Amino acid sequence: MLVLSRKVNERIVVPDCQLSVTVLGIDGNTVRLGVAAPAEIAVYREELWQRVCAESASQDPIATRAGAGRIPDRSSSPVAERS
Condensed to tens digits (0 to 9), the pLDDT of residues 2-50 reads 999 999 999 999 999 999 999 999 999 999 999 999 999 999 999 999 9
Residues making up the chain, counted from first to last = 83
- The residues, ordered by sequence, that sit 6+ positions from 10 with a Cβ below 8 Å of its Cβ are 22, 23
Given a contact cutoff of 8 angstroms between Cβ atoms, the answer to whether 19 and 13 are in contact is yes
User: In a 3-state reduction of DSSP, which class is residue 48?
Assistant: helix
Q: What is the pTM of this model?
A: 0.66
Q: What does DSSP say about strands 19-27 and 11-14: parallel, antiparallel, or unpaired?
A: antiparallel
Domain ranges of the chain: 1-39, 46-76
